């Protein structure tokens, strides 16, 4: 039976020019390159310039994804931006990206699921494309986390970075089998009881300020390994694939030790895991599309590759998407 699938037609990314190394961090807070590398795997991160906004990063990433897809921006009828660091409280950063690309048809809106934002946004876009309501979507993860960091808190400020990544999705008729190209399965989850472990201590409706990121790193770490492994397991069971049939794991990039822990649990070799953490840090909703982009540029993504994406973040939110490139 013919079914619509959301096929990934192109990927693109953008990171701000300014690079901040661990040595630069050590000039600001009481930390060392050794500590950061050993505990997280991060060596450096990109930081947006004054005035450089989340939408600016998103637009640049979308432009590259559009060029690579060969699709005209005017043929895009859906723009979804996953971000926890919008340019403004409203309108949605997605509508600013839409306007920046010269698109004035269809719909644009933001998805807020912090580090799981890209997995959530892909899931929402896929649902809307499969029903036939839209035909071509830009799904972008864009963040300027540097704006919400407490630069005096060494436990958090060394972890995050700024950047954006985007994919172009197109609804295409397929056979409806697991060998199809496109998004094959996705699962999103949340549990709001864990808010106090990872949150921003401000907001227009509470403090009327932007606030700063607060995290109980050790507890988040524990939940991340557990919840991500669980949702990957569900994805494999639902689709009937074994972990060793996955060609490429494109995980959210929070901590190298989390990635290693999950890889050990699933028994997958390092050659199948995309790691960009070293040069990007944790870029929240941007981290998966930034990693997809790196895998594409390194020619690790081929037509037909089975790709598993997963993430966990504030809320808690978590989820996974299985797609065939």
Structure token pair of residue 318: 């978590």
The least CB distance from residue 272 to ligand UT7, in Å, is 21
Site for ligand UT7 (CB under 6 A): how many residues?
21
Residue 193 binding ligand UT7, by CB under 6 A: no
Active site residues: 115, 252, 282
Is the peptide bond between 97 and the residue preceding it cis, with omega within 30 degrees of 0? no
Segment contacting ligand UT7 by CB under 6 A, of 28-36, 117-125, 178-186, 299-307: 28-36
Q: Of 254, 232, 231, give the one whose Cα is nearest residue 243.
A: 232
Task: Give the sign of the dihedral formed by CA 200, CA 122, CA 234, CA 282.
Answer: negative
Place of tokens 């723009």: 79
Residue 116 binding ligand UT7, by CB under 6 A: no
Residues of this chain, 78-107, that bind ligand UT7 according to CB under 6 A: none
Q: How far apart are CA 101 and CA 86, in angstroms?
A: 17
Candidates 124, 254, 307, 320; binder of ligand UT7 (CB under 6 A) is: 254
Is the peptide bond between 316 and the residue preceding it cis, with omega within 30 degrees of 0? yes
Tell me the backbone φ, ψ of residue 125, rounded to 5 degrees: -60, -45
Which of 58/314 has CB closer to ligand UT7?
Answer: 314
Residue 149 binding ligand UT7, by CB under 6 A: no
The least CB distance from residue 135 to ligand UT7, in Å, is 32
Q: How far apart are CA 100 and CA 60, in angstroms?
A: 10
- DSSP classification of residue 309: E
The least CB distance from residue 49 to ligand UT7, in Å, is 24
Q: Is 41 left (phi over 0), alpha (psi -120 to 50) or beta?
A: left
Residue 217 binding ligand UT7, by CB under 6 A: yes
Residue 285 binding ligand UT7, by CB under 6 A: no
Residue 40 binding ligand UT7, by CB under 6 A: yes
When CB distances to ligand UT7 are compared, the closest residue is 217
Residue 155 binding ligand UT7, by CB under 6 A: yes
Q: Of 126, 134, 37, give the one whose Cα is nearest residue 78.
A: 134
- Contact residues for ligand UT7, defined by CB under 6 A: 31, 35-36, 39-40, 115, 154-155, 158-159, 217-218, 220-221, 224, 254-255, 258, 282, 312-313
């Amino acid at each position: 039976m013919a079914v619509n699938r959301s096929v990934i037609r192109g990927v693109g990314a953008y990171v701000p020019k300014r690079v901040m190394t661990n040595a630069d961090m050590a000039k600001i807070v009481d930390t060392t390159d050794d500590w950061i590398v050993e505990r997280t795997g991060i060596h450096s991160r990109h930081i947006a310039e004054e005035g450089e906004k989340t939408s600016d990063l998103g637009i640049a990433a979308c432009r590259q994804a559009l060029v690579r897809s060969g699709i005209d921006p005017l043929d895009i009828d859906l723009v979804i931006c996953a971000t926890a660091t919008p340019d403004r409280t409203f309108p949605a950063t997605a509508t600013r990206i839409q306007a920046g690309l010269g698109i004035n048809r269809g719909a644009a809106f933001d998805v807020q699921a912090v580090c799981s934002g890209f997995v959530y946004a892909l899931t929402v876009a896929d649902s809307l494309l499969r029903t036939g309501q839209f035909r071509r979507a830009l799904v972008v993860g864009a963040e300027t986390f540097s704006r919400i960091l407490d630069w005096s808190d060494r436990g958090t400020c060394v972890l995050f970075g700024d950047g954006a990544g985007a994919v172009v999705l197109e609804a295409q008729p397929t056979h409806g089998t697991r060998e199809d190209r496109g998004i094959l399965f996705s699962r999103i989850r949340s549990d709001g009881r864990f808010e106090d472990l990872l949150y921003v201590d401000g907001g227009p409706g509470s403090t009327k300020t932007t606030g700063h990121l607060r995290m109980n790193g050790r507890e988040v770490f524990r939940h991340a390994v557990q919840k991500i492994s669980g949702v990957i397991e569900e994805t494999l069971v639902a689709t009937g694939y074994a972990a060793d049939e996955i060609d490429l794991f494109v995980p959210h990039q929070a901590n190298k030790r989390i990635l290693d822990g999950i890889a050990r649990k699933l028994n997958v070799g390092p050659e199948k895991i995309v790691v960009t953490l070293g040069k990007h840090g944790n870029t929240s909703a941007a981290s998966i599309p930034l990693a997809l982009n790196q895998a594409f540029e390194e020619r690790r993504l081929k037509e037909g590759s089975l790709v598993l994406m997963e993430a966990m973040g504030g809320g808690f939110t978590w989820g996974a998407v299985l797609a065939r490139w």
